[in-house]
Amino acid sequence: MTDSVRPCGQCPEAKSGLCALLLSIGFREFRGTIKSNPLRKNESIQSDSPGRDRFVLVARGSAKLRVLRASGAANVIGFLGPGELAHLRVKSEAISSAVSLEAATVCTADFGKVQALGDKHGVVAAHMAHRLSNEVTRLRGRLTLLGVRSAGERLAAFLLDEMDSRRWAVSETEHRLPFSRFDIGEYLMLSPETISRAFTDLVHRGMIRCAGPRRIVKLDHPGWAEVEEVTDVEM
């Protein structure tokens, strides 16, 4: 991994958002606050020790957020695309990490340093509060999905949410999903076999079409309206 004290220019944050905000405050205060980390597929970043939380921001590529609990159980709790930010925590009962789903560049910032800048500059605190509200929305969205009882409906609701976000879109209807079915299963708390069967069912029903490895096309089908109704009820 290599470190950089200036934005790499590969993500929207280089011209707007946290990087630009910290640069506008002054280079001296910015030095060492954000580091750029090139990652190979399946490499991970986590906080060093309790009390040393980090912010992570995906500059290029994609990553999954994973929590390892003291019991040894691990769960995927979210996915990040370019320009998306999350808070990595270290607690006695759990450690969170960001794992690259492909070759990626992930920027990291020491939570304490950014918090200190926020105490000194209100605009930094306001910006981070807004960005972290998006993380809370993601976590609430996962809880909503886990409340959907049918495995097929749970997968369909997940795919609909991901496709509607447009963050993986390659065309109006085609989407490149960087995560594996195993990752999806871990996120939805379903076995890989259950995920495969649910995918096959969606294809047979004419709701999606597989367009290649980890590529799906959303087809016009009334079933999607039914999926929206199910998640609205669960909420």
In the listed set 94, 120, 145, which residue is the last one of a domain according to the structure? 145
Do 175 and 137 lie in a common domain? no
Within this chain, do residues 16 and 121 fall inside the same structural domain, yes or no? yes
Residue from 111, 106, 90, 100 nearest 48 by CA? 90
- Within this chain, do residues 139 and 51 fall inside the same structural domain, yes or no? yes
145, 174, 191: which is the final residue of a domain? 145
**Same domain, yes or no: 80 and 125:** yes
Residue 27 pLDDT level (bands cut at 50, 70, 90): very low
Give residue 18's pLDDT.
Answer: 61
Residues 20 and 132 in one domain: yes
- Residues 118-171 have pLDDT tens digits of 888 887 788 778 777 877 777 788 877 888 778 999 999 999 999 998 999 999
Q: For residue 229, which phi and psi values (nearest 5 degrees)?
A: -65, -40
Q: Which domain holds residue 218?
A: 147-234
Residue with tokens 């886990």: 146
Whether 190 shows a pLDDT value over 90: the answer reads: yes
Count: domains in the chain: 2
Query: At 193, which CATH number?
Result: 1.10.10.10
69, 105: one domain: yes
pLDDT digits (tens, 9 = 90+) for 52-76: 788 888 888 999 999 988 888 889 9
Q: Are residues 192 and 152 in the same domain?
A: yes
Residue 103 located in a structural domain: yes
- CA nearest to 13, candidates 80, 64, 58, 62: 58
Radius of gyration of the chain from its Cα atoms, rounded to whole angstroms? 19
Same domain, yes or no: 139 and 154:
no
Q: Same structural domain for residues 16 and 98?
A: yes
Is the same domain home to 137 and 28? yes
Angle, to 10 degrees, between the axis of helix 181-188 and the axis of helix 151-165?
110
Which tokens is 9 given? 């220019």
Give me the residue label for tokens 């495995």. 151
Rounded Cα gap, residues 54 and 31, in angstroms: 16
3 band by pLDDT with thresholds 50, 70 and 90: very low
- Whether residue 151 is found in the same domain as residue 135: no
